[in-house]
């Protein structure tokens, strides 16, 4: 079985249907009177499925509520903390899209600009043509550009045991990640379909750097992290450690969900770049998504652009670095999921930004994130609610679980 085939099979077996994740007073969530007992049971079930530990925080007008289950360190048995910082994978994409939309609002670029205009020659070869792809198509994954993390050699090098331990500290340049994608044919003609591609957001980060003349992480820090006082959030660049307080991160580093468990906490996140390198915690993520949907970060016109979606399946649509999902109880939530080695995260909020939920699993081979979301917003568990970016780490920061051939 190829890495690509095995990876797809594993996701189909362990991930929930779409992705974009516990003792205090109950908060209003979904149906009247819903508390957090269902959420507590859902995170405990994830630990029962084999996830080492889970940390979760929900927030609404009545205040914040946090809980943990399992452990943050398999060697010492130290529990997870509500304040844990963790790698958020593809949740990075919402931050990147927000900055690009801010630059548009300032007249410094247009989402209808072509990729070629900003990055001459970067998207070219094997049928790729940056002059026919817009920045908007990067942000809503309708560009057709091949997803570099679907390359089989890349998968063997960075997601399986033998390659990971040899290459975990490698520094990857964004230009190299794009060049790898260009060795493959496009998935489809620009604007004719939808497919999640991490290459899109690597390019988006490069455009930010071209437009501002500085690293894209500087723009995120100055435009989002500092104004919102996101004290646990960072863009690590090539830093291989996770700042404390934090837990260890674990993976099987295999084509199956069985076998030995490895500590993969330390990794050079440049292999994800603007598609998934950021670090945060649940409190910060709730604050970010709530502020975003309430219009604190974008003018009305740009927020409307961000929340204009293309269909993904019957219950889900993808906007600009932001996912819309209708839950089983009729509640619609917005947000994103994220997965990277040893870390699976979800961050979601209601359209009015009044109720938010963020959580993290410190293992990447098991656990039903959709059940946690449904439990908190609907008061019951249902495997219908994960957001793009979550799922098994080999496919995430990476790709939306259960949506397509994830490579």
Maximal CA-CA distance, the chain = 57
Q: How many angstroms separate the CA atoms of 340 and 159, rounded?
A: 10
Residue among 192, 263, 230, 2 at smallest CA distance from 98: 230
With a CB cutoff of 8 Å and minimum separation 6, the contacts of 113 are: 134, 135
Q: How many angstroms separate the CA atoms of 321 and 137, rounded?
A: 11
Q: How many angstroms separate the CA atoms of 93 and 271, rounded?
A: 15
Give 60-126 as a DSSP string.
ETTEEEEEEEEBS-TTT-PBP-TT-BEE-GGGHHHHHHHHHHHHHHTTS--TTSBHHHHSTTTSEET
In this structure, how many other beta carbons lie within 10 angstroms of the beta carbon of residue 189? 14
Catalytic residue among 19, 66, 90, 356: 90
By the 8 A CB rule, do 388 and 52 touch?
A: no
14 phi and psi angles, rounded to 5 deg: -115, -20
Whether 390 sits among the annotated catalytic residues: the reply is no
In this structure, how many other beta carbons lie within 10 angstroms of the beta carbon of residue 231? 14
With a CB cutoff of 8 Å and minimum separation 6, the contacts of 282 are: 55, 56, 57, 66, 82, 84, 347, 358, 359, 360
With a CB cutoff of 8 Å and minimum separation 6, the contacts of 226 are: none
Q: How many angstroms separate the CA atoms of 378 and 30, rounded?
A: 5
The structure tokens listed for 295 are 């219009």
Handedness of CA 80, 81, 86, 88 (dihedral sign): positive
Q: 320 vs 185, 305, 337, CA distance in Å?
A: 24, 7, 14
End-to-end CA distance of the chain: 13
Q: Give catalytic residues, as residue numbers.
A: 90
């Amino acid at each position: 079985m190829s890495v690509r085939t095995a990876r797809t099979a594993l996701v189909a077996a362990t991930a929930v249907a779409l992705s974009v994740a516990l003792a205090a007073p109950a908060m209003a969530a979904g149906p009247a009177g819903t508390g957090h007992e269902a959420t507590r049971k859902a995170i405990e079930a994830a630990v029962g499925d084999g996830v080492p530990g889970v940390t979760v925080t929900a927030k609404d007008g009545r205040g914040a509520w946090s809980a943990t289950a399992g452990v943050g360190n398999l060697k010492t048995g130290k529990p997870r903390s509500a304040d844990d910082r963790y790698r958020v994978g593809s949740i990075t994409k919402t931050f990147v899209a927000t900055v690009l939309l801010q630059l548009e609002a300032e007249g410094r670029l247009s989402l209808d600009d072509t990729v070629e205009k900003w990055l001459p020659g970067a998207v070219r070869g094997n049928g790729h043509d940056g002059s026919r792809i817009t920045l908007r198509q990067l942000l809503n994954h309708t560009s057709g550009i091949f997803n570099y993390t679907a390359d089989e050699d890349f998968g063997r090098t960075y997601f399986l045991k033998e390659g990971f331990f040899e290459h975990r500290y490698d520094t990857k340049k964004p230009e190299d990640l794009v060049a790898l994608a260009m060795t493959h044919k496009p998935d489809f003609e620009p604007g004719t379909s939808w497919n999640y591609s991490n290459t899109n957001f690597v390019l988006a980060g490069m455009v930010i750097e071209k437009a501002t003349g500085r690293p894209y992480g500087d723009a995120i820090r100055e435009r989002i992290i500092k104004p919102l006082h996101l004290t646990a959030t960072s863009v690590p660049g090539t830093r291989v450690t996770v700042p404390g307080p934090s837990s260890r991160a674990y993976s099987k580093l295999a084509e199956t969900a069985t076998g030995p468990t490895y500590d993969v906490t330390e990794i050079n996140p440049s292999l994800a770049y603007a598609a998934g390198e950021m670090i945060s915690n649940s409190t910060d993520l709730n604050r970010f998504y709530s502020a975003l949907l309430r219009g604190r970060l974008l003018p009305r016109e740009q927020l409307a652009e961000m929340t204009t979606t293309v269909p993904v399946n019957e219950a889900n649509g993808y906007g600009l670095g932001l996912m819309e999902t209708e839950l089983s109880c009729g509640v619609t939530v917005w947000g994103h999921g994220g997965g990277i080695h040893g870390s699976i995260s979800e961050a979601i909020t209601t359209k009015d930004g009044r109720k938010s939920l963020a959580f993290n699993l410190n293992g990447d081979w098991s656990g039903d994130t959709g059940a946690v979301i449904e439990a908190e917003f609907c008061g019951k568990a249902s495997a219908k609610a994960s957001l793009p970016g979550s799922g098994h780490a080999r496919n995430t920061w990476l790709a939306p679980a259960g949506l397509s051939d994830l490579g």
